[in-house]
């Protein structure tokens, strides 16, 4: 498969994905790699309902996604979605051609630090970003493709988190 956009977004599939990122990625397939969604029939149904007709959706656990990414030999353009940085770090090893990850949204929760309007991080998120950085992966924040790209590592450093 050809992962044209790899995105961290704790909302998975939502309006910005459907209206902007799918066409930007030229994707014919969405893979949601998420343990919780893969084990929840309601979440699966909601994600399927949000996916446009003509776009194939696969909702896989992280382990099944790793296996799928490792073994798929097609050239299908794919939008890969995960909820968090550690999931992204786990999957990136199966994608040697992917050098950059887009961050869309990490919601505000107690104990998190705001590094940008729609990106809040805790120690777990920061550890995931550190792993990605150590692997040489660029990480940029953009809500939609035509937004100005902002380097996550610089944003983390500005907050003394990296």
Q: pLDDT tens, 38-76?
A: 999 999 999 999 999 999 999 999 999 999 999 999 999
Alpha-carbon gap, residue 58 to 79, rounded angstroms = 11
- pLDDT of res. 81: 98
The dihedral built from the CA positions of residue 135, 140, 144 and 146, taken in this order, carries a sign that is: negative
100-138 per-position pLDDT tens digit: 999 999 999 999 999 999 999 999 999 999 999 999 999
Question: Given pLDDT bands bounded at 50, 70 and 90, which one contains residue 6?
Answer: very high
Check: CB of residue 37 under 8 Å from CB of residue 43.
Answer: yes
Question: Given pLDDT bands bounded at 50, 70 and 90, which one contains residue 151?
Answer: very high
Task: Indicate the SS3 state at residue 64.
Answer: helix
* Residue 34 phi, psi dihedral angles, 5° rounding: -160, 120
Quote the strand ranges of 13-145, DSSP E: 29-33, 56-60, 77-82, 100-105, 113-116, 119-121, 138-141
Check: CB of residue 63 under 8 Å from CB of residue 36.
Answer: no
Percent of the chain surpassing pLDDT 90:
98
**DSSP-derived pairing of the beta strands 119-121 and 2-9:** unpaired
* pLDDT mean over 90-98: 94
Alpha-carbon gap, residue 57 to 28, rounded angstroms = 9
């Amino acid at each position: 498969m050809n992962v044209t956009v790899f995105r961290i977004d704790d909302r998975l599939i939502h309006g910005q994905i459907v209206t902007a990122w799918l066409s930007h990625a030229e994707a014919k397939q969405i893979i949601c790699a998420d343990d919780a969604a893969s084990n929840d029939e309601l979440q699966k149904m909601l994600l399927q309902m949000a996916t446009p007709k003509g776009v194939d959706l696969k909702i896989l656990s992280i382990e099944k996604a790793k296996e799928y990414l490792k073994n798929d030999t097609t050239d299908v353009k794919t939008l890969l979605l995960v909820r968090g940085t550690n999931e992204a770090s786990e999957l990136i090893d199966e994608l040697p051609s992917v050098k950059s990850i887009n961050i869309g949204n990490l919601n505000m929760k107690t104990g998190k630090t705001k590094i940008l309007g729609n990106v809040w991080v805790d120690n777990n998120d920061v550890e995931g970003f550190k792993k990605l950085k150590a692997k040489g992966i660029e990480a940029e924040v953009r809500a939609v493709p035509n937004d100005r790209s902002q380097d996550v590592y610089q944003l983390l450093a500005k907050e003394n988190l990296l």
